[in-house]
Each structure stands twice: as C-alpha cells, then as structure tokens.
Amino acid sequence: MIGGRRVYRLRRILTGASPAVLGFESQTPARRWNPFLGRRWHEASSSSSSKLHIASEICSRRSSRRSAGANASAEVERSGPEDVEVRKPEPPPFKCLTSWTSQYNNIVILEGAEDSPSHYAGCRILLLDSSGNVHSVYRRATAWTKSYWDEFAAFPAVIPDGPVAILGLGGGTAARLLLELWPSLKLEGYEIDQILVDNAREHLGLAELESPTGDGGVLRVHVGDALADTASVDGGFAGIIVDLFAEGEVLPQLRDPETWLALKSRLRPGGRIMVNCGGACVEKSDSKSDVENGTWTWEDGAASKDATLAAMALSFPGQLNWRKMENSEADNVLALTGDVPDLDAWAAAVAEELRAGILAWKPYK
C-alpha cells in the first residue's frame, strides 16, 4: 500500500500491435485500427463491476505460449530438430468487430469465440475510454449478464408507473433485460456519444430495443449530456437509473450534492433513483499517449464511491439505501433513493434470479 493506493507498474503490452498479434482477428479496416487496443482490457469495478479480466486471460495465454516456446527450444537443443513437434496455433479468443475514436471515447467492440474459456465466450463486449473498461455486454441467447446490469431490472417493482430514464445508456445492456422482464416499460436512454450509439445499433442489438414490444414498451435513445436540464420529460420520471463513468471512475459531477438535487427535481411523486456507485478499485493509465509505454495504476475506488454516496445522502436525507453486489470481486455498490422498500414484497415481485440480491438492501448511514 502506498498512500492508500495499490500501485503496480506494468509495461504497455504490444502497444499499437495488430489484432492478430494480440490474439484477436480483426474485421475492421486498417484505417480505423486504434493503438488503444494494445492496452490491457478488463471489466473494471467502477464501470462494469465484476472485474473479470480479459487482460489476464490474454496475458495468461501469452505466458503459456512463451513457456511452451522456451520448453520447445530446450527440447531442440537436447534432441535435435528432427524431434520437434509442429503445433497448430491456438485460435484467437476474441475478434475485433469495430474500433473507432470519437470526440468522447475510444470505442472497441469485441466478439468472443463460442469455444473460448472466457467468461465472455459467444458474446460481444463494448470497451470505452483509455481504461478499456467493459461498458456493455451483448449475448444473443440471453439478456442476463450475471453482473450489475441485471440488478437494474428489479427497479420497476418499487417505482410508480411512468417513464424510466437510463443515464449512461452505453450499448443498451440494462435496457435489454428491463424490456424483457417489463415489456410495457417506456425507457428514455441518454448517451453522449453518437458514434457509440451508431455502433451499438449495428453490433450490440440496440436497434431492436427501439422497436416497440408487443405490450408497447420501447427504448427511445437521446444523444446528449445525460445531466443537462434537457434530459427530462413532462410530469417527471418514475425512475432514473444512473450509470455514468469516464476513464474508469464515477463522473466527478456525481460527487456534488447539487447534481443529485437536480436529478431529484426530475422525478415524479414517489419516483426513485438507482445508481451504480462503483466498487473497490479502478484501473487507470497515467499516460494519455497511445503510442509510448505507460504506467498502469490500480487505485482504491472506495474514495470515489464513498464521495458519491455522501453527496446523495445530503440530497436525500434519511432517504438513501445501499447494497454491495453479492459474489462480486469488485465489491460494486448500488444505491437507491426513497424509503426502504418492503424487501419481501419487492423480492416476490421480480424474477427469481434477482430475489437474493434484493434482501441485501439496507439504509445508508
């Protein structure tokens, strides 16, 4: 521990290398290739919360290949070239579907091989900003992610009827499960990056959510600042989901009580806000350059998380609840405004997969 921070200095691995070198197949034209893909990828506690490390998977494969190569070289020295066994290269665990740099983000969408041992086998993942955090997951077969996005699907059971806002839509992961479980829900999704939205429509199934369900539920996508006054509806929102991060951290504005007072004013009577406050640690790079080697830093994310909760508590005195994600390495914390709901009644009103987590909610003190 150094000043309350865990610091690990890592050399940037193969910065600017092609996808094939990194164990990826690329379907993206070379002109759009982004040296950002040379960085480490992981599902960060402050963003996508279960801290499942794509980087670790890739690096472990790299280490295995290096070890295998060293052993093979030693065998050549002992036995001669005629005894060398030629091995077929392992297929890449992911392929890059697209890579863009926008005004706001480095945008990368990867697809995991069906037979990959990765947690992301057979699904598509959205990586953003220079931290490479996973911001969305898309599986064609199921809307469930086994991560914090699923918890937002319990929200409609404790709010009045009316539209629900998602601030920080990303690729639409949370919206997909919400509409599957609550098919009459009207969702208003806010995302600042038009290029991200365009790519999510093409690769992450976002366009499907913009078509009404049989029960009239639908997602309306708004491109713009989620915290601007224009992110509102007549009569107020029944609920607001807040999932706003940049560079691996909760947006600084969310540590300001004034931000929460502004969001509170956009609720209708009885409305609530549910928030992803981040988790135990975040990963950042101290180098903004995508070309030169950088130093990676693991920071204690508790300060950012606690500051967000403290700001909310000032804006919702005696009306704030929280819970830590169960079975989460990242220790993600969720917050919910309003009185503590009847937990048993809440659990009975939602899908079975969500019930255990609901019983963990408690007042914030």
Task: Identify the CATH number of the domain in which residue 313 sits.
Answer: 3.40.50.150
pLDDT: is 340 or 365 the higher one? Answer: 340
Q: How confident is the model at residue 48 (pLDDT cuts 50, 70, 90)?
A: very low
- What is the per-residue pLDDT across 237-278, written as a single tens digit (0 to 9) for each? 999 999 998 877 899 999 999 999 999 999 999 999 999 998
Residue-level pLDDT at 133:
76
Residue 90 belongs to some domain of the structure: no
Residue 116 belongs to some domain of the structure: no
Residue 289 belongs to some domain of the structure: yes
Q: Residue range 276-291: average pLDDT? A: 56
Distance of alpha carbon 134 from alpha carbon 47, whole angstroms: 7
Q: Which domain holds residue 262?
A: 148-359
Beta strands in the chain (DSSP E): 24-26, 94-101, 106-112, 124-128, 133-138, 164-167, 186-191, 218-223, 237-242, 245-246, 249-250, 267-276, 281-285, 296-300, 320-324, 333-337, 362-363
Domains: count for the chain = 1
Distance of alpha carbon 152 from alpha carbon 166, whole angstroms: 10
- What is the per-residue pLDDT across 118-169, written as a single tens digit (0 to 9) for each? 888 899 999 987 766 789 999 999 999 989 999 999 999 999 999 999 999 9
329, pLDDT greater than 80: no
pTM over 0.85: no
Residue 106 belongs to some domain of the structure: no
Residue 294 belongs to some domain of the structure: yes
Residue 115 belongs to some domain of the structure: no
Q: How confident is the model at residue 6 (pLDDT cuts 50, 70, 90)?
A: very low
Residue 193 belongs to some domain of the structure: yes
Mean confidence (pLDDT) of the chain? 78
Residue 104 belongs to some domain of the structure: no
Q: Which of 338, 328, 344, 332 is nearest to 363 (CA)?
A: 338
